[in-house]
Amino acid sequence: MKTFSRGQKIILIVLGVLDFVVIAGLASIVIAAMRTPLPPLPPLSPTATATVSAVIIPPTWTPTVPPTERPTPLPRPTNTATPTATPKPLPTDTPTPTTTPTPKLVAGPIPLEGAEFDYVLPNRIPGWTWYAYVNYKGGDFDPHNSFAEPVFTAADDPVRQIHGATLKVETIRWLKFRAWVYQTVTVTVGSTVQFKIKAQAFSSLDRLIVKAGIDPTGQPHCDAVQWGEAQWINQDSGIVTLLSPKVVVAAPQVKATSTPTATPDPREREAPAPTAEAATELLGRVTVCFYAEPSYPHINNAAFFDQAELIAIPPR
């Protein structure tokens, strides 16, 4: 206020008085308007009331629909079984019996059990039987005439193996042995057969005697065997093939038994004897055998055998 002049101060006072007057006038007008009562509303005519009454629609409601009852299912019709017709038996044709064809015999090997000498155990040769001449039981001995029991095992030295597993025959030192090994098989009578087997030997001094044979009558030993050529071999001889002679299989000996003769009934007619279209094959027995013996007793004498085979040519 100290910065205003006197004239400015007078003007400000005048403006303040004018503002106060204006505000007071506005306030008086508002108060007066609030105190003045409102004019009454005009009465409604009957027409207008009827019109309004006519326009008002009374409330309506939707009736609740009752639930539809579940229909009762109709009973299932009973199936009536259709009568089955009794089948009429059809006539059956009696088949004509067919004759069994006789197999055509061809030349070839006859299977031998343990021909490859697999699974050999000490003194046990699968498929084969052995026996030996033994006169030495212990004590003093004669080197040239004393024969000890042989020992049969599988060859453990690959150099001495012929074709995989190989049979080895030996005995105690400074003594000799005589050993036979055989097997009996069934072959058609009249067939020509020959036995062969591969062999080799080892001797610390001399040689071993080996040979192969065959018995066409099938005896359960090697006493009746027909022997092939004996060979004297050692480690320098390599692998040799032992051959038996070719023989013809003999028919088995059948003991004749007497049967009582029946008295024929004259009321019965004689029926014709059945005729066979093919003759029944007759089987015989054959024994194959091989043998080993050292020619001189020494520290080590052993014979080796493998790949036994029996060849048969059927009769014509």
Domain ranges of the chain: 108-254+281-313
Residue 307 region by backbone torsions, left for phi larger than 0, else alpha for psi between -120 and 50, else beta: left
Question: How far apart, in Å, are the Cα atoms of 117 and each of 113, 114, 164, 273, 283?
Answer: 9, 5, 9, 50, 26
CATH domain 108-254+281-313 topology: Jelly Rolls (2.60.120)
Q: What is the pLDDT of residue 54?
A: 47
What the block records as the tokens of 246 is 């070719």
The residues, ordered by sequence, that sit 6+ positions from 248 with a Cβ below 8 Å of its Cβ are 190, 191, 192, 193, 216
Pair type for strands 108-110 and 301-313: antiparallel
**How many C-beta atoms lie closer than 10 Å to residue 217's C-beta?**
16
Q: For the CA atoms of the chain, what is the radius of gyration?
A: 66
pLDDT at 181 over 70: yes
174 within 8 A of 154, measured Cβ to Cβ: no
- Could you give the CA distance from residue 207 to residue 26 in angstroms, rounded to a whole number? 161
pTM over 0.95: no
pLDDT at 276: 45
Cβ–Cβ < 8 Å for 207, 233: yes
Higher pLDDT, 29 or 155: 155
CA distance 201 to 168: 9
Q: Dihedral, CA atoms, 217, 223, 226, 229, nearest 10 degrees? A: 160
Instruction: Please report where in the chains the tokens 């004749």 appear, as a residue.
Output: 256
Q: What percent of the chain has pLDDT over 90?
A: 53
In this structure, how many other beta carbons lie within 10 angstroms of the beta carbon of residue 263? 6
d(CA 21, CA 210): 164
Kindly tell me if the per-residue pLDDT of 90 is higher than 60: yes
pLDDT on residue 27: 86
Mean pLDDT of the chain: 83
Check whether 105 has a pLDDT greater than 70: no
Pairing mode, if any, of strands 231-233 and 208-215? antiparallel
Least confident of 111-120, 138-147, 189-198, 215-224: 138-147
Condensed to tens digits (0 to 9), the pLDDT of residues 203-225 reads 999 999 999 999 999 999 999 99
Sign of CA dihedral 126, 249, 241, 233: positive
Half-sphere exposure of 237 (CA within 13 A, CB side): 21
The pLDDT of residue 34 is: 78
Least confident of 163-172, 247-256, 260-269: 260-269
For the segment 129-145, the average pLDDT, to the nearest whole number, is 92
Nearest-10 Cα torsion for 160, 163, 164, 166: -60
Chain-centre distance for alpha carbon 300: 48
Residue 273, CA distances (Å) to 22, 165, 200, 270, 278 in order: 165, 55, 58, 9, 15
